[in-house]
Amino acid sequence: TARYFDTKTTEPISFYLSSLEELLSWQPDSNGDFNISAVPLAKRQPPLHSKRPRTLVCHDMRGGYLDDRFIQGSDTRNPYVFYHWRYIDIFVYFSHHTVTIPPVCWTNAAHRNGVPVLGTFITEWTDGEKMCEAFLAGGEEAYHAVSEQLARIAQHYRFDGWLVNIENTLSAAAVKNLPPFLRRLTAQVHSAVPGGLVIWYDSVLQNGTLKWQNELNEENRVFFDACDGLFTNYNWKESNLEHSRELAGLRRTDVYVGIDVFGRGEVISSGFDTNKSLRLIRQYGLSTAIFAPGWVYEHLGEENFLQNENKFWALLAEYLPTHSICTLPLATSFSLGMGNSRFLDGKEEEAGPWYDLSLQEIQPLYPEREGRLRTSCCLQDAWCGGSSLRVQGTIPPGEEHVATRLFSLQMPAPPKLFLTLLYKLEGPHPDNFTVALELTTGDSATCHEGNVTSLPEPNGRHHPRLLPAPPPGLAKLLAACNHGSNGWTSRCYELDLQDCSLRDLSLLVSRHQPSPQETSFTCLVGEVRVLDAASMVASAPQVQSLAASQLWWQ
């Protein structure tokens, strides 16, 4: 059980497998149950297999399994977190261990935000050569056993597949079995994990030589054809993008062109100039794999990490198609899964740093408009968890309000919605502003608010009615209606819609008097909920067959 628990603290930890023997002898073990993701992959729109270019993030930080290995969290100050989930499609956890099983906290955070997570299967150097010889050079039983185990591991721990990285020379016998191994692994992952994926890293060629191509070509195409995608090496030029696009044909979005944010070797751009590389990749309609965006944390330091992180992703946002939420309820208090203290109902419950990505909540879009609007994370004050969402902006001269898009939605609107909002205005004159929620609906001639006789809203913008008190039967769920505390204001709303589809949820900040001057505001958003009234009335399913094991009182 040494692998499952920290030797110093006895706490459960995430782990990897170091050899072919460990992989082949792996069996589900109740000591490892802490590593099973508890969060199913949330649906989002458009789905992964849509034909628009995708964005993969490959997380590689100082060998991996740092403080993120502590399944029940740690008291790390200024940890690394990722939260721009709305902008990406796939998250890969990378390390140089043979079988990298993603730490479960990453899978939980990604899944809550609709992003699938891949582990890494890697062989490298002379040990890698020996290992590949052992499982690829013989008969099919050997590589079938490996593909079977990899698929079982993904299924058991509930992550979504594998990045396969063979970075060593292969004998003729071994390379001959590589495409059938990849085909077999891909088929098994697809059947074991709904929506599962296998992606191949551009390394070995079809003749067994280790030679990075920086593109899809005739030398590595056989591997691309055997799985769900190719992740290219980083030292490409524009001509490589052209070749890849031509050869991939209808599968061009399955080519993930690598960008190393650290900029090792000859690269077009890196760091805060990563957008230059990304612009080129998108001109060719290809997907991208952003490698080690933790550069922001490792290179620029942890002190201003959240500020630098927002800057990094804001520079790329133009080339990152965003994703919409497509199921209700939507409820979030914006927690990043870390904090300098823990808050409950707007009050600090416990001071001191904490880090637990499994507790990260659904993350918004983080829109930025040069000089006009900024959204960021506020660690100093929160309604619940470790942080709130800070929205800072200016209302231009002559205008009454400004709307900040928090979430993109894509789903049919239920007939009745309840919405709740908790916010706090900062700054010298909070009484000059009103804060509310705005929902937009898709342009449809049939869509209208309230009863059939009411007129359609111009441009599909709806301002839900304020509820002075929760409706009967929902008093518990909407308990906070108009009962903010500790400086937070609480609001509940209802909205009746017919034949509408939901598009955006925005925060609307208005000033009471129109003014020839521009007016600045800062608003903390502590919690937002969008609830389908019909499903709120239904009683929650009863928990059944509850069992407790391995109790140890300390």
Residue 351: which CATH number? 2.60.120.260
Is 493 part of any domain?
yes
Residues 234 and 378 in one domain: no
Residue pair 447/547 in contact by the 8 Å Cβ criterion: no
Judgement on whether residues 245 and 197 belong to the same structural domain of the protein: yes
Q: Are 101 and 157 in contact (CB under 8 A)?
A: yes
Model pLDDT, residue 443? 67
| Interval 513-529: pLDDT, tens | 878 888 999 999 999 99
CA distance 333 to 330: 10
Last residue of a domain, one of 276, 300, 323: 323
**pLDDT number for residue 486:** 87
Please tell me the predicted confidence (pLDDT) of residue 455.
Answer: 53
Are 215 and 230 contained in the same domain?
yes
Return all residues near 531 (Cβ < 8 A) that are at least 6 apart: 328, 329, 331, 417, 418, 419, 420, 477
Please answer whether residues 398 and 373 qualify as being in contact, where contact means their C-beta atoms are separated by less than 8 angstroms. no
Which residues of the chain are modeled with pLDDT < 70? 1, 443, 451-459, 473, 480, 482, 554
Regarding whether 319 and 334 lie in a shared domain, the answer is no
Dist. CA 399–CA 406, nearest whole Å: 21
Q: Measure the CA–CA gap between 286 and 360, rounded to whole angstroms.
A: 30
CATH number where 127 lies = 3.20.20.80
pLDDT at 128: 96
Task: Calculate ∠ Cα 370-458-490, nearest 5°.
Answer: 65
pLDDT (tens digit per residue) in 266-282: 999 999 999 999 999 99
Residues 6+ apart with CB under 8 A from 200: 164, 182, 220, 223, 224, 226, 227, 229, 230, 231
Do 361 and 491 belong together in one domain? Answer: yes
Instruction: Compute the 3-state secondary structure of the chain and give helix, strand, coil in percent, each to the nearest 5.
Output: 25, 30, 45
Q: Are residues 240 and 364 in the same domain?
A: no
pLDDT of residue 429: 82
Whether 2 is in a domain gets the answer no
Is residue 34 included in any domain, yes or no?
no
Domains contained in the chain, number: 2
Residues 68/105, Cβ–Cβ less than 8 Å:
yes
CA dist., res. 218 & res. 463, Å (int): 57
Domain contains 544:
no
Q: Indicate whether 74 belongs to any domain.
A: no
Backbone φ and ψ for 13, nearest 5 degrees, come out as -130, 160
Do 334 and 189 sit in the same domain of this protein? no
- Give domain status of residue 58, yes or no: yes
Do 270 and 391 share a domain, yes or no? no
Domain co-membership, 185 together with 239? yes
d(CA 256, CA 244): 10
With 0-12 / 13-18 / 19 or more C-beta atoms within 10 angstroms meaning exposed / middle / buried, residue 554 is: exposed
**Do 406 and 512 fall within a single domain?**
yes
Structural domain of residue 249, as residue ranges? 16-25+52-67+81-323
Residues 371 and 238 both lie in one domain? no
Residue with token string 């890196």 = 270
283 inside domain = yes
In a domain, 20, yes or no: yes
Residue 146 shares a structural domain with residue 182 = yes
Distance CA 397, CA 420 (A): 30
Beta-bridged to residue 390, according to DSSP, are 376, 524
Cis preceding linkage at 397, omega within 30: no
Coil, helix or strand at residue 166:
strand
| Tokens describing residue 16 | 């990897």
